[in-house]
Structure 1
Amino acid sequence: MITGEKVQLRPVSLDDYKRTYHWRNDEETARLEAGTGFFHLSNVPLEEIEEDYEKSIIKLDKREAGEFSIYILEEIPEYIGGIGYRELNMIARRCTVGIGIGHKEYWGKGYGTDAMKVLIRFLYRTMNLERIQLDTWSGNTRAIHSYEKCGFEVEGRLRNHSYIDGKYYDTIIMGLLREDFQCE
């Protein structure tokens, strides 16, 4: 387990994965997390989520990707979302990260920012990476602000790349170099 100021990152359990059922079937939560992928990542039956756990978590090759559950650091820890890395390239020492806080009660309170900082520290210290990147859609302003608080900078914009709720949005590409990360 990896601990920050507000959260702890833990291995993903089947129970955690099953709890995403409610978040993935909540339109607002699913849209913010999935963006253009909303149509195939939402309205998912519980059986499909359980099947996906085997493929996406149990059989995950840690040399290519990693997933963690986010728990709040309280007297009674509570699962509030997930975070992970993918597209790991150990030659170039880089990866892509992603996060989702599904529990709406914890939105806008710094839990996602803390979880991202914890993951970044882990990736730089433990895996000796040089670069971390991510992408999101331009309408997800709360996420963009959180990423900027972690030190990510906008490096690119793919115009009209995401189509969400009948409207086109840009995809925002953000990056963070090891030397620019201030919270080590």
Structure 2
Amino acid sequence: MSEWQSYHPDIQVILHEATDHELALAFVHRRLNVILITEYMRPEGIETLPVYREPLCVALPSKHPLRDHDRVTAGMLSGEKILVQDWDRSHVIRDHYRALLGPNAHLEAHPAGKQGLFMLVSAGYGVTLSPISQTESGFPGVIFRPLSGTNAHIQICLGWSPQCQDPATGRFVAFVRDFMKSREPPGRSGLSAGGEKPGPSP
């Protein structure tokens, strides 16, 4: 975003935070131009471009027995109460946790933000999962350990409507696509960050 701003300081960017259901409605009613979403939250009828992959961590109370481990596996969380963000008509995070941790995972739903869940973890009400970027500033009474496993990550994607005719949106999507290509390792020309061929510009 900082590079986009430096190249296009004249284009206004307004940030909206919403659930997947609210994002889908916003796209239907053309209230949003682009969205950043995880791959498992993808609304129907949009084009996506993988942008980056982020590891997941386990947030634990600071005196939790698992604090002595460098990494935590899904099996080590058996019997733990897993706090998860969940809202009416928006259950994709809960469903993703269950797929990641297994059908017997003890999930407890909370219609709250991540900072609210960290507060509950600090007070000893359970543990939660979090992208590593949300752990860097820390939280009082909470420690973080990397989650092990081949699927212990989230894929962040840029999404846009293929029907969108807004010139700024097309420029932004093309800018992000070119930026991702510039960061590809040798031998992966023509592939996006997630290893998929990007679709055509809107």
TM-score range, shorter chain: under 0.3
Could you say which structure has the greater relative contact order, defined with CA pairs below 8 angstroms and 6 or more residues apart?
Answer: 2
Question: TM-score normalised to the size of structure 1?
Answer: 0.26
Q: Which has the higher strand share?
A: 1
Question: TM-score normalised to the size of structure 2?
Answer: 0.24
Q: Which has the higher helix share?
A: 1
